[in-house]
Structure 1
Amino acid sequence: MQEGRTREPFRLPLAAAAHELKAPLALVRQLSLALETGDYTDTERAVLQQRITLTAERALRLTTDLTRAERLDDGLFKVEPLNPIVLCEEVADELSPLYAAHDRTIGVKPHRRQLLGLANRELLRRILLNFTDNALHYSRDAPVYISAQQRQRGAVIRLGVRDYGPAVPANVWRRLMQNLGRPQPLHNRPASSGLGMVVAHEFAAAMGASIGAVRHRDGATFYVDIMTSTQLRLL
């Protein structure tokens, strides 16, 4: 966890923002042109319209996050006890239509123990939406799962999003871990500029949390660590 650190002011990386917005906006344009020129059934037209709406919403989430990140000040955001599993389920429900439009599925791994964490609900939600948005584009045909587990003898709760995208070479991964919070394009994930990690890093720092990632042979798990609430011991 990050405590006692002074965060540097967030500076919007314009080139990275343009790169991230280009893909969803280009897709919206492509789908719109297809609707104008194609001969579709009512059902096919409805599917295309839904994809346009969902893709536009993804671009809007990014611009909203960038605006919010620019307005973060040096003070910590208010944190409160929350159930991380419930929040994970809300995020999965929110993105399930977008996943379905891409023939993908998203779910939450069950957790037997009751969990109670400390975080700013909206910032944590934005981080998870960011990670799950990215996982959609790199998970191939495998389902995406959000998980919550206790770490450091129960002092920390880790919320992770597992993707099954292209493996990142070890030397590239080391550089990525050393420069978390800075835009870092990955050559084998050309649709990403790393801007999502920059925004997630800013949101986590604003509430005293931290982000990170675990490398797998078939993808990666991006996670955010929050403190466990001591109120759970009183329940």
Structure 2
Amino acid sequence: MATLALLTAICFIVGLVCYASMSFVLNNRLNSDLVDSSYRTSTTFSVQTNLNGQSYATVRGIAIGTLIATVPQNAEATGGFVSDSRTGQPDGLQPFSAKDKKTITSIPSDGRFYDAHFDEGDYRLVSIPLSNGTSLITGLPLNDLNDTLATLISTIILVSASGLIAMGMVGTVIIRRAMTPLNQLSAVATKVSQLPLDEGEVNLAERVPTSAANPNTEVGAVGLALNRMLDNVSQALQARQRSETKVRQFVADASHELRTPLTAIRGYTEMLRMTENLSQSGEKSLSRVESQSKRMGAMVEDLLTLARLDEGKPLELADTEMTQLVLETVNDMKVALGDHRWQLDLPSDPFIIKADAGAIRQVLLNLLSNAAKHTDAGTVVTTSLRNVEGGMLRLGVRDNGPGIPKDFQSDIFDRFSRVDVARSGHDGTTGLGLSIVHAIVQAHGGKITLKSEPGDTEFMVDLPRGH
């Protein structure tokens, strides 16, 4: 468009110059012919009187269509338009109309050129004084000049428009072909931008084609640089994946190894309590050992769960009736934690989805226990089920507690993420519960989102219906 705008401006300037030049040449030529005709008319034009006393004009050697007139002082113009200059007879002049006589009479006799309109058309006139006190006016038609300039304008417009259209079409093809490598670069960059590079094993196979990675062209140099950058990113992602795999394997192995000593600690703790008479201080210490071993055992189980999810072990999918599952799970929480107000917002119709019932139950238990741990007694916790767009089922856990700090919400699903005095000041959590929830939901092809503000916090789990 910018190129066509520039070419349009150039065509306009060129056309304007051509028109001005042609107009200048044609007007000079017409003026020269008019001066010559005026001179010849002054030598051949005469007004005579016939036998009946009538005046008539004679003219010889003057081009057809020439205007000739004499204007005596305080008298009407005599003459007319030449219709046949070969005969020299009175009928060689077509007489003026009254309007034309008035126009001729108004032309000053100063030797300058004037344009005027007559019944016969537009004329350029020149008036020269004669020795007898009359003025001789000669005029040449402007039709040829105007027609030539009009034809020139039409030609310029037609040629310019045709050239601009052709240039637009050819230029579009050329520019598109020239920009094809850039389009390929854009397509590759777009595909890479849509890849999930933040976690998991990433196969970054997208590359700019060799034809668009030619270092001898500007676009090709960009394509080559993009390929080198993608190679570097791919190597970094592979190194990150290897490191994550080692860490996860270590966590899984360590968790398995920790199971045995933790079980032994709990066993010996129970044996000491049953076989030994402990002092009050010893009983307190033993209780502390037992509680911490249970806490470590829960952490080990959570780590093992995450390790299994990281390994991508297939879920045991089956038809799961979500309404009954939610009802049973919330009732279990009512028994275990009666200091909160547990409410249900469930439809009357059953919700059946394809899911691993045990995993989904764990998701709901973690969300409910998370709400209970981080809110004060008496807090209302509402569990709901409803359909949402895209054939998804939404499981919601909502409470009216103090809310989650804004700066922590983006990290809440990360492993070992724990906000200091998150909502009520209770501690003892491992920071893995919501990570497990996030991993299970992703394994089901769903997503979990959070919205929280003081007095209103809701975790929303969207799961595919699977039917």
Short-chain TM bin? 0.5 to 0.7
Q: Which moved more, 1:60-69 or 1:164-173?
A: 60-69
Question: Which residues in structure 2 correspond to 1:112-191 (within 5 Å)?
Answer: 112-140=348-376, 141-153=378-390, 155-173=391-409, 175-176=410-411, 180-189=413-422, 190=425, 191=427
Matched position secondary structure for 1:108: strand
Are residues 1:226 and 2:463 paired? Answer: yes
Please give the residue correspondences for 1:101-112 in structure 2 after superposition, counting only pairs within 5 Å: 103-112=339-348
Match of 1:28 in 2: none
Q: CA–CA distance in 2 between the matches of 1:107 and 1:57?
A: 30
What secondary structure, in the 3-state scheme, does the structure 2 residue paired with 1:127 have? Answer: helix
The two structures, once aligned, show a CA RMSD in angstroms of 3.9
In structure 2, stretches of 5+ residues that fail to align are 1-194, 202-244, 255-278, 281-292
Identity, in percent, stands at 21
List per-residue Cα deviations over 1:86-139 (Å, max 9, x = no partner): 111111122212211xx2232321214432222111111101000001111233
Deviation >4 Å, runs of 4+:
4-10, 56-63
Once residues 421 and 401 of structure 2 are traced to their aligned partners in structure 1, the CA distance between those partners, rounded to angstroms, is 9
What is the TM-score with the length of structure 2 in the denominator? 0.35
Instruction: Judge conservation of contact 1:181–1:199 (CA < 8 Å) in 2.
Output: no
Distance of 1:59 and 1:152 partners within structure 2: 41
The DSSP-based 3-state class of the residue aligned with 1:71 is: helix
Query: Contact conserved, 1:213 with 1:222, CA < 8 A, in 2?
Result: yes
1:68 maps to which residue? 305
1:91 paired to 2:329: yes
Measured after TM superposition, the shift of residue 75 of structure 1 is 4.1
More RCO (CA 8 Å, sep 6+): 1
Give secondary structure in 2 for the equivalent of 1:168.
coil
Whether the 8 Å CA contact 2:302–2:433 is kept in 1: the answer is: no
Residues 113 and 91 of structure 1: CA distance in aligned 2, closer, same or farther (over 3 Å): same
Contact 1:107 1:145 in 2 (8 A): yes
Show structure 1 runs of 5+ residues with no match.
Answer: 15-35, 38-55, 231-235
Name the CA shift for 1:61/1:204 in 2 (closer, same or farther; >3 Å).
farther
Alignment partner of 1:196 is 2:429: no
Question: Which amino acid letter does the alignment assign opposite residue 323 of structure 2?
Answer: I
Deviation by residue 1:182-219 (Cα, 9 ceiling, x = unmatched): 33222341535642111111222233232221223314
Report the number of matched residues.
190
Q: Could you tell me how far 1:81 is from its partner in structure 2?
A: 2.0
Cα distance in 2, alignment partners of residues 95 and 62 from structure 1: 20
Measured after TM superposition, the shift of residue 157 of structure 1 is 0.6
Are positions 1:205 and 2:442 aligned together? yes
What SS is found at the alignment partner of 1:203?
helix
1:199–1:163 Cα change, 3 Å: same
The code of the aligned residue for 1:176 comes to D
**Contact 2:382/2:398 (CA < 8 Å) preserved in 1?**
yes
Q: What is the TM-score normalised by the length of structure 1?
A: 0.64
**In structure 2, C-alpha distance between the alignment counterparts of 1:149 and 1:69, rounded to whole Å:** 28
The DSSP-based 3-state class of the residue aligned with 1:160 is strand
